[in-house]
A and B are shown apart, each in its own frame.
Chain A
């Protein structure tokens, strides 16, 4: 095409080329993805709001519009107490997780406590494991009569009765607090490591002592990180289903999540009331996340200043062994003891709170893993099969979505990119069980109900922001000029994406993929609302075993899940490195 004809072409058809200039690969892709994301995120939340105003009549078939569901939240015999229990559990877990998280972060980032490099990866392991499985393990460790630690205390220490009991609301706080400590740890350790040491040094040169410097400089700089971590723990604990279901619901302490669950699938199922309860829970969590995102996260100054600092390390002297013991104890109670207990219990035919070497057997693994044997338990083998499919498909689709969405947010300007940015924060504000209720009421009358697809849809909607953040953080580190120079070299938008952007983002994409794979493999609180017979997931399988079978079979499946997760964690650390893990 010569210049003259090209110019003439363009000059002849101003109107059609105006359209042509709007319909580019880029704009079409943006539009399609925006619509998909908007529909996936907004539709369930919208239906959830609508459903919460529908009141089921006494016959259980017809509905009328009204506020009765919300009235029930206050007048019901159980729900108000469940509400209080939820708040107590969340507050308690937050205090515990903040205590562990901040102490461990400080010990690892700023002291000369021995063995830090070896212990650091273990501090993060609870982040990747299932808190539900943690609750099962702690139930067998310290759950009244069946607790292994209690029977050891009776035998070796001569304690009468039970030394420990986690089968109550305090046990829930203990387990959630332990398992969510890494959330605070990750927020704080980053600020502590990346803090410019001269900030503290200059305080010291003005005559401020060690403690005064910590109080007036270090703590205020880390405070946004601590607060962010604490809020995330509070919200996550409030939405946690597995731990209260295992440890306190059977003993008379209901929480909002266990109540939503019983209203969604129980004998007295009433999705509309469930929707109202979900709204109550969702309003709290969204409000807190909004505070964190708009007021606290922007104030974390230390994370933006450059990298490459060597933070000040404090010589603890003899106290360093205390710091070591503290960190070691955390790893024992959060990682080693629970996994040891799962293993021990899973090898017994029946669990009687003592290790009987002559009884050890692999029978429980045979029944939960070997799908070709006639005596296998279908909920367990189905769960494994389904979870791998969901995790693989879900992580792949979510990462493709994340890639395009991140590109839209960071490489295009205007209203669309800001809307997408907002839509990516929204799902994070809602606990899985709340979003699952939304997905349930939205799609219950469509063909995808009672299939794996509805679970897949729920997973992706709730968790793709995690993948998106992984991609975004890499994308922000890559100069936009790398893309632009490809366009200038004559490559189209799509060719640039394929040949330049995606290859450069590969580490971030893969890290995000593995993270989502891990999250989907252990997911419980959405699956439990959306599954039906045949579409059980791995965690639902564990739920089934603990509800209808026995502790030893439960432990066997839990142990299998834990082993797979640990392998994924190992892969994740190899590809992502420690810095990639900022939730």
Chain B
């Protein structure tokens, strides 16, 4: 790594825990709080994903870090260097931030060849010609475009443009990599392949990355950490497994994967983190033993969240507590059967094993494992 291009990023090693720090970020569009008091940090070398539906503020947060717009309040710093802090009147223009960014449209300049595109950040940094050539060749090989250097950007396919954009973003070994939904324009097959590859390359170059997407599968596959956002606020931050297995509220539960959500309230706390929630649907009332969310006490409003694969459906009542319902839809998907089971007014989504042999119109018994039944905030 050539020292003069890293802008002293090495010196920030000591603060490995908080490489990227975003504190109290607020961005207004008119009266609309696009980002509303968002704070998080990313350890050096890690891959963080901002996940949420369009309009949740994830791209605005990314643009704020990039410096492509100004913010109204808060403080953003990377490796001890303050990027922006309106309270102190600080704003570092985007070109001074030493960031590599991959855009949704790839933004490969159509009037240049692939090699010229990738060489551009190095030319701006006044790197010597021979070194530029060597590094461009290396990075193109890394992203799998070794043979494409002299092609015009317009001659590349979508996936290849994507790789070129990635090469351009990492060639100067920036302090930080930003990704703005880079895979959303690719078709499904290519997208799945690129997820893995992008993660591999990021891991190889070891640059701290922040990734924005609305695709929860993408987030689960690629991230070290995920932040789920909604309406400009952070809903939950955690590792992929944690976010999926222990969502804190109904919103996250529903956004990450599929969940059966029933409103109720906590009737008893049986052990630390465990308790009973009473739910009622269409005149039926059931006490469900479950895992309680943080700080939930008796009488609190709660939503029961159960993943479809965690609902066991059988045709015989094998004893023990179970819910009696009727199969109203059963779609065979090969490795499983996607069922809808009517229970009172509520329709359970159930992923049943094909061997269970569920058929539309049949009576069925649903059994819930308390270890996989969560009480979350409404």
Contact among A7, A15, A485 with B81 in the assembled complex (CB-CB below 8 Å): A7
A32: interface (CB < 8 Å) = no
Closest B-chain residue to A490, C-beta based? B124
Q: A1-B7, A3-B11, A490-B124 are known contacts. Are A485 and B107 too (CB-CB below 8 A)?
A: yes
Q: A21 touching B124 by the CB < 8 A rule?
A: no
Q: Which chain A positions have C-beta within 8 A of B97?
A: 488
Does A306 sit at the interface, judged by CB under 8 A?
no
Partner of B95, one of A4, A491, A500: A491
Question: A390 CA to B110 CA in the complex, in Å?
Answer: 34
Query: Contact between B124 and A495 (Cβ–Cβ < 8 Å)?
Result: yes
With both chains docked as a complex, state the minimum distance between the C-beta of A66 and any C-beta of chain B, in angstroms. Answer: 47
| Most chain B Cβ neighbours within 10 Å, of A24, A486, A504 | A486
Interface segment among B98-106, B300-308, B365-373: the answer is B98-106
Q: A residues within 8 A CB of B339?
A: none
Is A484 a contact partner of B95 (Cβ separation < 8 A)?
A: no
Complex alpha-carbon distance, A503 and B117, angstroms: 14
Q: Indicate whether B89 reaches chain A with its CB closer than 8 angstroms.
A: yes
Q: How many residues belonging to B are interface residues under a CB distance threshold of 8 Å?
A: 43
A21 to B9, CA, bound (A): 23
Q: Using an 8 Å CB-CB cutoff, how does the interface string of B65-84 with A read, 1 for contact, 0 for none?
A: 01110000000010111100
Q: Are B101 and A488 in contact (CB under 8 A)?
A: yes
Given that A7-B82, A10-B90 are contacting pairs, would A487 and B95 also be in contact in the complex, using a CB cutoff of 8 Å?
yes
Q: Which residue of B lies closest to A500 (CB)?
A: B109
Given A2-B8, A21-B91, A490-B172, verify A10-B82 contact (CB < 8 Å).
yes
Known A3-B9, A6-B81; contact A488-B120, beta-carbon cutoff 8 A? no
B93 at the interface (CB under 8 A from A): yes
- Within 8 Å CB of B124, what residues of A? 489-491, 495
User: Which B residues between 98 and 139 are near A, CB-CB below 8 angstroms?
Assistant: 98-101, 103-105, 107, 109-111, 120-121, 124-125
Task: Give Cα A424 to B284, complex, Å.
Answer: 68
Give the shortest distance, in Å, between B233 (CB) and chain A (any CB): 24
> Known contacts A21-B89, A489-B168; is A481 also within 8 Å of B104 by CB?
yes
> Which of B77, B88, B100, B172 has most A Cβ within 10 Å?
B88
Residues of B within 8 A of A10 (CB): 82, 88, 90, 92
Question: A491 to B165, alpha carbons, bound, how many Å?
Answer: 16
Known contacts A1-B8, A3-B11, A495-B124, A485 near B90 by CB under 8 Å: no
* Most A CB within 10 A of own CB, among B88, B89, B98, B105: B89
Partner of B80, one of A3, A18, A482, A499: A3
Query: Is B109 a contact of A17 with CB atoms below 8 Å?
Result: no
Interface presence of B238 (CB below 8 A)? no
Which 3 A-B pairs rank lowest in CB-CB distance, beginning with the nearest? A18-B89, A489-B121, A481-B107
9 A-B pairs within 8 Å (CB atoms) are namely: A2-B8, A21-B90, A21-B91, A24-B93, A479-B103, A484-B101, A484-B107, A488-B100, A489-B120
Contacts A10-B82, A487-B67 aside, 19 further interface pairs with beta carbons under 8 A come to A1-B7, A3-B9, A3-B12, A4-B8, A6-B81, A15-B89, A18-B89, A18-B90, A21-B90, A24-B93, A479-B107, A482-B109, A485-B168, A486-B109, A487-B93, A489-B95, A490-B98, A491-B95, A504-B110
